[in-house]
Structure 1
Amino acid sequence: MSDHFVDRNRLWSRLDAALEALPEPPPTPIAVVDLDAFDANAADLVRRAGGKPIRVASKSLRVPALIRRALAHDGFAGVLAYTLAEALWLHEAGVSDDIVVAYPTVDAAALRRLTSSPSAAAAITIMVDDPAHLDAVDATRSSLAVPIRVALDIDAGLRIGGQHIGPKRSPLFDTADVVAMARRVVGREGFRLVGVMTYEGQVAGVQDDVPDQRTKSLLVRRLKQASMAQLEVRRREIAEALAPIVDLEFWNGGGSGSVEATAADGAVTEIAAGSGLLVPGIFDHYASFEPRPAAFFGLRVTRKPQPTIAVVHGGGLIASGATGADRSPVPWAPPGLHLTGLEGAGEVQTPLTGHPAALLGIGDLVWFRHAKSGELFEHVRDVHLVRGEAVVEVVPSYRGHDLAF
C-alpha cells in the first residue's frame, strides 16, 4: 500500500474525528482547511520565492481569516484582489493597506467610492491596459484632488510561430505600446503609475508532470521554458524603456506554479500566489513543487442504490475554465472512489464507485477536493479550520460575510 494511499486514509479518519467532536453536525457541503498543510504550503512558497515577497492572490482564498493568516507569515506582503469592491472591503476591514486589483474595473459604484476616499486611494492600486480604463475612473469623479494609483497589465504570453500561447488578457505586448500607455498615464492629471503586472498563466497554471500524459507533459515543459526565456528578455526590454518615464514601486509576476522561475527574473520584484496555499485538484502534477492538499469539502452518503455504489448529496461544484474532466471535484478520502461517467458530480446527487463504496453507509462522510482554489468557498458560509483531529475555529467565507464579489 503506497504512502499516498495511507495518508489519504489518515486524512479521512482525522477529518471525520474533527467533525464528530462538534456539538452539532454542520450542514453539507462542509468546507475544511487543514492548517498544518496550509502553513507548510506557505513556508514552501516563501522558500521557492527566494527572498522576493509574495502577494496573496485573494481570489484563490476568499476567506478573510485565511488571507490574514497568509499575510502573517514572513515573506508575504500585500494582497492581489480580483475586484475593486473586494479591495475596498479588505481595506475597510483592516485586512491590508497594500492591495492591487489584478483586473481592470469599470464598476462605477466602486470607482466612486475609491475616488472619494483618500485612505482607500492610498492603499489600493487599480489595473489598466487601455485609456478607456482611465476614462472610466474620471467619469466617476468631479475632482482630481485624490490621485488614483495605477498599474499596467502587460501581456505575458508566448509568441511562437505566429501563435499566441497564454491567457488572453492585455492588448499591451510590444514595448512601444507599453511605453505609449505609460506616457498616457504619467501625463494624465489625477493618476499615478506605480506598478506593472505580467502574469504568465501558460506557465503558472498548466500541469506539466501528468503520469499518463508523459509526451504532452514534456511538450508543456518545453513550452514553459521557451515562454520564460522569451518573457525574461521582454521584461528587461520593457523595464529599460520605462525607467526614464517612471520610477515603479513594484513589478508583479508569476503564480503558484511558476514561483521559482518568475523569482529568478531580475525585473520582477514580487510574486503573486494563492492556489499554492490550498493546492486544489488542478495543481497536482507539477514538476516545480510537491502538492500538499489543504482544502476539502465533505458530503454525506444518502443512498445505496447498489451495494457497490454510494451516492452523496450534492457535489456538483464544477470549476471555471475550459470544460473537461479536470474541472470536476476529486473524490479524495477515502481513497479509491470515482465519479461515474454518466452522472459525474451532480447538483443534488453524486454517485461514487470504487472499492470503498461498498464499505460506506448512509450518513458517512466522503471528502472531496475542488478542482480550483477559492471557488469552493463561494458555496459555503462557514469554513472549519482543522489542526490534527480538532476543529480549532470556524470562520466565515466572503459569502458568510454576506459578500458576493
Structure 2
Amino acid sequence: MFDTFADLAADRARYDRATAHLDAPLALVDLDAFDANAADLVRRAGGKPLRVASKSVRCRALLERVLAMDGFSGVMSYTLAESLWLARSGVPDVLLAYPSADRAGYAELAGDAKLAGAVTVMVDDPAQLALIDASREGGREEIRVCLELDTSLRLLGGRVRIGARRSPLHSPADLAELARLVQRRPGFRLVGVMAYEAHVAGVGDAVPGAALRSRAVRLMQAAAVRAVRSVAPELEFVNGGGTGSVQHTAAEEAVTEVAAGSGLYVPRLFDNYTSFTGRPAALFAMPVVRRPGVGVVTVLGGGYPASGVAGPDRLPQPYLPTGLRYAPQEGPGEVQTPLLGQPADDLLIGDKVWFRHAKSGELCERFDTLHLVAGDRVVDAVPTYRGEGMTFL
C-alpha cells in the first residue's frame, strides 16, 4: 500500500467521525474507495465486460451498485441456491462458477423458464449431467451449461502442480470431448467456457515466474476455446480472470468477458501487486474493552481467519491506528484480542480499532449489516447475505 501515515490518520479520523453514533463491532464500506476500485477494474479490462464475483461481495445492494456501472455485466455466483435467489431477485445473467449437487435447486431450475433463462450452471464431468437429469422431477426447461478448463500447471509428469485443484478437464481435447457429450444430450445447451486462473488471480504479481505461468495459461485457453468452438460454434461467452489477472486475461483474444470481485473491497491478500494498487474499501471495527497494561489494549472479538492454507496472511490485519500488532502467543481471539504497540497507550475504553480482513466476501459472513460511508458520513446501512437470512455455505 502507498498511503502515507497522514493519509491513514485522516482515514481513521473520518471513519471514527462517521460511526461515532454506532457501537462496535461493526463493518463499513467506503463508497469512494469502492467506486474507485470498480473504475480501476473497468480500466484494466480494456473494454471487455466484467462479470462480478458475488462470493467476493455477498451484499445484494453492492452487487446492484456495481451492475449499474458501465463496464460490468452479469454475476458469477458460488452456489446454485444463491444463483436462483439472485435470478428471482431480478439479476438476468448468473453464471454459477462451481458444480453443484443441489437436487432441489436443479428441480426448480428445470421447472421455471425465467430461472432457466437466467442461470448457467458449471459442468466438468458427465456424472454431473446425469445428476441434473435425475433431479428434474418432470421439469423440461433446457439447462444452460458452461464447461470449466483446469488451468493449473502440472510439471515433471504431474509431480509438481501450480494452482488450485479444480476441473478434471486438463486439455483442449478433454474439453472438446465433454462439449460433444453435452451437445448430444437432450435438455442441455452449451453456452460458455470458463478458464479461471486461480493460481495467478489471487497471487501477487511480484512473485517470481507469475508472468510466465500466466502466459502459459493464455496459450492453453486459446487452444481450448478453438477446440470447443469446433464442436459448438454458437458459444455465447468465454470467461476468465480474477482480480489479480484482469488486464492479462482481457488481452487474450479468445476471452469475451473477465471475472473479478475481490478488487472491489481490496482485502489484505491483494496488497502484493505491482500492476495495480487498490484502496481498502471494506473494514471492520472492534471496541477497546480492556487496558491490561502499558502498550497493550484488548478489543472484543476479532478472530476472523480466512479460508485457505492456515498462516499469518489469513488473519485480519490491525489497520487503524497504525502500529498495532498481535500478541505472538495469542493472535486474534474468538471473544477477545490483545493488541500491542505504542498506539495502544492513546486508546480509551470504547474506542474503535479498525481491521482489514484477508479474503474479500468472507467478512460478510461475520456481519449482518454494512454501513456505507461517503466522506465522513454514514449514508446508508445495507444487509449482507447473512443479514437477509442467506448463508449459502
* TM-score band w.r.t. shorter chain: over 0.9
The answer for the alignment partner of 2:313 in structure 1 is 326
Q: Among 165, 179, 182, which residue is 2:162 paired with?
A: 165
TM-score (normalised: structure 1): 0.94
Q: Which residue of 1 aligns with 2:82?
A: 86
Matched, 1:397 2:392: no
**2:221 alignment partner AA:** R
Matched, 1:151 2:146: yes
Shift of 1:160: 3.0
CA distance in structure 1 between the partners assigned to 2:329 and 2:139 by the alignment: 58
Q: Which residue of 2 aligns with 1:52?
A: 48
Between 389-398 and 225-234, report the one with greater CA deviation.
225-234
SS of residue matched to 2:19: helix
Matching residue's letter, 1:242 = V
Alpha-carbon distance in structure 2 between the residues aligned to 1:40 and 1:3: 15
Using the TM superposition, give the Cα deviation of residue 253 of structure 1 relative to its aligned residue in structure 2, in angstroms: 0.3
CA distance in 2, matches of 1:382, 1:238: 42
Q: CA deviation at 1:237?
A: 1.6
Q: Return 5+ residue gaps in structure 2 as ranges.
A: none
Task: State the 4+ residue runs in structure 1 displaced beyond 6 angstroms.
Answer: none
Query: Counterpart in 1 of 2:121?
Result: 126
Task: Calculate percent identity across the aligned residue pairs.
Answer: 53
Who is 2:225 aligned against? 239
- Per-residue CA deviations over 1:197-253 (Å, capped at 9, x if unaligned) read 1011111111243xxxxxxx3x2xx2x222222222212222222222112100100
Q: Which residue of 2 aligns with 1:343?
A: 330
Matched-pair contact (CA < 8 Å) for 1:157–1:227: no
CA–CA distance in structure 2, aligned partners of residues 7 and 340 of structure 1 = 26
Give 3-state SS (helix, strand or coil) of 2:135's partner: coil
In structure 2, C-alpha distance between the alignment counterparts of 1:323 and 1:152, rounded to whole Å: 30
From the superposition, tell whether residues 144 and 348 of structure 1 become closer, same or farther in structure 2 (CA, over 3 Å): closer
What residue is the counterpart of 2:5 in the other structure?
5
Structure 2 distance, partners of 1:377, 1:270, is 26
Q: Are positions 1:174 and 2:161 aligned together? A: no
- Corresponding residue for residue 261 of structure 1: 248
Tell me the TM-score normalised to structure 2 length. 0.97
1:41-81 superposed Cα distances (whole Å, 9 cap, x missing partner): 00000000000000000000001011011111100000000
Which residue type is aligned with residue 173 of structure 1? Answer: H
**Residue 361 of structure 1 is aligned with which of 343, 348, 354?**
348
**Is contact 1:340-1:353 (8 Å) kept?**
yes
Aligned-pair CA distance for 1:3: 4.7
The residue type equivalent to 1:203 in the other structure is: V
- Matches of 2:104 and 2:11, distance apart in 1: 45
Correspondences of 1:95-134 after superposition (within 5 Å): 96-134=91-129
Q: CA deviation at 1:144?
A: 6.0
CA distance in 2, matches of 1:282, 1:142: 43
Aligned to 1:213: none
Q: Secondary structure at the match of 2:181?
A: helix
1:131–1:181 contact (8 Å) kept in structure 2: yes
How many angstroms does 1:109 deviate by? Answer: 1.5
> Which residue identity lines up with residue 170 of structure 1 in the other structure?
S
Moved more, 30-39 or 338-347: 338-347
Cα distance in 1, alignment partners of residues 44 and 156 from structure 2 = 32
SS in 1 for 2:231: coil
Give the match for residue 204 of structure 2.
207
Give the conservation status (yes or no) of the 8 Å contact 2:205–2:211. no
CA positional deviation for 1:108: 1.1
Cα root mean square deviation, aligned = 1.2
* Pick aligned residue for 1:42 from 38, 62, 75: 38
The residue identity in structure 2 corresponding to 1:272 is A
